[in-house]
Amino acid sequence: MEYSETSMRIHQLSPLDALASLKSTVAGLSGAEVERRLHEFGRNEVEKVSRGPVWLRFIKEFTSFFSLILWVAAGLAFFAEWSEPGQDMAKVGYDIVTVILVSGLFSFWQEYRVEKTLAALRKLLPQQAQVLRDGKITRVPAEQLVPGDIVHLEQGDNVPADCRLIEAFGARVNNSAVTGESLPKARNAEASSADDLTDSKNVVLAGTSMVTGQAKGVVFATGMHTEFGKIAHLTQTAGEEVSPLRKQIAHLSRLTAILAVAIGLSFFALGWLIGIPFWKAFIFAIGIIVAMVPEGLLPTLTLALVLATQRMAKRKVLIRYLPAVETLGSTTVICTDKTGTLTQNHMMVRRLYLGETFDSTDVVKQQPGLADRYRPFFLTARMCHDLKETESRGKPAFLGDPMEIALVEMAQQLASGLPVYPRLDEIPFDADRMRLSTVHQAPEGPALYCKGAPESVLPLCRHILADGRIEPLGAEVKAGIVQAQDAMAQRGLRVLAFAFRQLSAGYDRGKLEEDLVFAGLTGLEDPPRPEVPEALRKCREAGIKVIMVTGDHPRTAAAIAREIGLVKSDSPTIITGEQLRRFSVIELQLALDAQEIIFARVVADQKMRIVEALRKKQQIVAVTGDGVNDAPALKAAHIGIAMGIAGVDVAKEAADMVLLDDNFASIVNAVEEGRAVFENIRKFLTYVLVHNVAELIPYLGFLLFKIPLALTPVQALSIDMGSDTLTALGLGVERPDPQIMRRPPRPYDERLMNWSLAFRSYLFLGLIEAATAMAAFFMVLHRAGWKYGQTLAARDPVYLQATTACLGAIILMQIVNVFLCRSATRSVLSTGLLGNPLILWGLIPEIGSLLLIAYTPWGNSLLGTAPVGAGVWAFVMPFAAGMVVLEELRKWLARRRLFNPSAAAVSESAQAA
């Protein structure tokens, strides 16, 4: 029989037939057969998503499109030096190579450091398993399991492979990591009639865990053949989505390259036509290309993203890939899991139904007498369970079903001093009975305590505990109990009924669960995180749609959604996995237009369908998840968000970021940081492009008007890579605007550099700065008696002082410009001068580099400069003041347009440039 065929129908066979179908026996496999099957079927391990060798990823950091442009610019500089030595172009080439190396190293270091952090969090499949081979139980590494092995599972064990149970005693499993269901499911060994293997009650899946009971199962699928492995394969085959920032940087790189080459070739052709020697015109074309490429943009961008990830880490968000920082800010839809993200992943008792009245736990605390009158109710909660008592940090603790732990904790808190009677007997919980009964030796004699589903327990009851008295259970009272159960269920609570009875010393075990006394109902839930409602409010204000996608029951999902404020209307759209399976692509896209929508009972491939449908609607999608079932959707989304505490390794490997506290509110904090990153990139992009214009104009003047070149290529590069670096980085780490989360997400196709940013950079601030630099250059020449048409040697002291004045003017104007670029609309009086410490610290090396360049022999030799008098700096100051006045006037006009009612539709993001 084929391996895959066995996997498809083994759950429909009896235990003995299941063993026979896998050619195994009740004594397990022999050692020789294990070796043969291990060779045939492979090791029991899930293949990790291949990210390529470290050395290859390291090299890729230096081969992005923008890096390639810089490599070409460096190559041209070296070629120019080879063609015409003595022009300092080799220095330009070496400096550009340094930029590329520094940027690549920073980017690689950040991602490698995060990978090391994740490696410390890895908790995939169990390391050891108890297996029966040759009739003996032994412990073997889990990766050595093969189909046909018989494994023993106990409470607290992780399931190492897909198994068909052949024996089960009170077994319940936690399937949340694979199916997304938050509540434990009962398992037995009987043949199943279910069509789907994952719905069968006699199958336990790799990656799940035993909550209670014991079981013995025969392995029928290992490694990539397990359901766990199949979902991991989906993760590997899901296409990688290019982040919006990568697209924007690629577009900006292409635009910069085209613009630089076009201007360079135009100047080359023009110079050749007007009689400049071929090689000299070519050298100047290279100088123009180098001047037009913003070499400082790449390291500044990289450092800004690195610092943003460090800020996010302080807010419990671990960024795996640097571009994911900005992608968060673009997010328009968040698809979030419920359990552990919106909720605390910790069951709690929320409502009690004692006698014929509802009570909250707080009411019972305030009325100690109530707990005394309903003492049997609390004794049932305390003793009727399958938990293992242990210690944690020196204190008593329990291991097992979270729901049973919540009931024990409730009993201990509300009814102090409860005794624990010795257990005499039990009738285990199973999927058919839907209840658990235990017998204990009470002081009055044996007593039975029972809990389970109300529809299972209530028919066994003939009496009711009412205010401390045992009374007959009439039809009217029973109907009231059913109504109370329905009311709790409508609120999304998990409802359990409690009952008890006193037994005679020689009780009949076959009649234990007869003539019970109904003690009450409990309503449990996984309560919402307290920070979530406020986080959802911020999402609404920010124009971000939040969609709950869960494996839980629709009623539970809707109740939690209403409690946290995700749903406010009376009739939200709720789509189950079964309904979703029948939807066409178009129907799903239309359904996603609903204002409030919840997906419940969904499986892994359906979650990925939802993500893909949202992407087709031009949405920027963020998806949260913790289980292996979430991994394909995490990878398919624009940004995948894995849980750091509850998340499995497959989910973390597929994600772009990891929540260290598993808290939805941390996502909103990260979105705020991401939006600030985009705005800050625009700020330092404006800042960088302004001095690019001031660097270009000297070449234009040299070629068109035959004046001395006011700024040499190596001097231009000193601005790009040296003096401006820290101040530009300061703009990259500006704090988020207080109003940034009250604006809608920017349009999907909005460019990083749009027309308004280009106008402000190139045609407004850039021209002012260029005019200042050229004025300072001519002022020095004029004072030295230079006449138009006069040629100056490259080492002429006057020429060296004039270029120093031009370079110094650009640096001084950039010192002023950095404060102007802190906001595109707010006045410098509003943003202030002291609000960003990094900018202030950046001014020190900027001023220091100016003094070093102008007044030290080393700086003079390196950049071809000469000391200038104080009159040069005094000459520049009025220009700097004029730029402030003109920019303040432009901002005032921009604010008027922004707050004008007729322009209310103009988004703040459109004004940001």
Q: Which positions are annotated as active-site residues? A: 337
Q: What share of the chain is helix, strand, coil (3-state, %, to 5)?
A: 55, 15, 30
Q: Which residues are bridge partners to 398 per DSSP?
A: 389
Tokens of 757: 């940013």
Q: Which residues are bridge partners to 450 per DSSP?
A: 437, 499
Q: Is 164 exposed, middle or buried (0-12, 13-18, 19+ CB in 10 A)?
A: buried
The identity of residue 707, as a single letter, is: I
The DSSP code sequence of 503-537 is --TT--GGGTTSSEEEEEEEEEE-PBPTTHHHHHH
The candidate with the shortest Cα–Cα distance to 266, out of 284, 290, 253, is 284
Q: Which residues are bridge partners to 549 per DSSP?
A: 599
Answer for the pair 353, 347: CB distance below 8 angstroms, yes or no: no
Residue indicated by tokens 């102008």: 854
355: left (phi over 0), alpha (psi -120 to 50) or beta: left
Relative to beta strand 657-659, strand 639-643 is parallel
Distance CA 420, CA 381 (A): 11
* Counts of helices then strands in the chain (DSSP H, E): 36, 26
Q: Residue 322 CA to chain centroid, in angstroms?
A: 12
- With vertex at residue 600, the alpha carbon angle to CA 596 and CA 603, rounded to the nearest 5 degrees, is 130
Distance CA 765, CA 785 (A): 30
Q: Where are the beta strands (DSSP E) in 669-764?
A: none
Q: Which residues are bridge partners to 129 per DSSP?
A: 140
- With vertex at residue 370, the alpha carbon angle to CA 368 and CA 373, rounded to the nearest 5 degrees, is 120
The identity of residue 329, as a single letter, is: G
158 secondary structure, DSSP code: B
Distance CA 655, CA 631 (A): 8
Distance CA 788, CA 795 (A): 19
CB contact set of 486 (below 8 Å; sequence gap of 6+): none
Tokens of 339: 């359990």
The identity of residue 722, as a single letter, is: G
Give the 3-state secondary structure of residue 38: helix
628 secondary structure, DSSP code: G
The identity of residue 796, as a single letter, is: D
The DSSP code sequence of 184-244 is -EEE-SS----SSGGG-TTEE-TT-EEEEEEEEEEEEE-GGGSHHHHHHHHHHHSPPPPPH
Residue indicated by tokens 């008792």: 349
Q: Is 800 exposed, middle or buried (0-12, 13-18, 19+ CB in 10 A)?
A: buried
Residue indicated by tokens 């239309």: 590
Distance CA 605, CA 233 (A): 12
Q: Residue 40 CA to chain centroid, in angstroms?
A: 39
Q: Residue 445 CA to chain centroid, in angstroms?
A: 57
CB contact set of 428 (below 8 Å; sequence gap of 6+): 169, 170, 213, 386, 436
CB contact set of 540 (below 8 Å; sequence gap of 6+): none
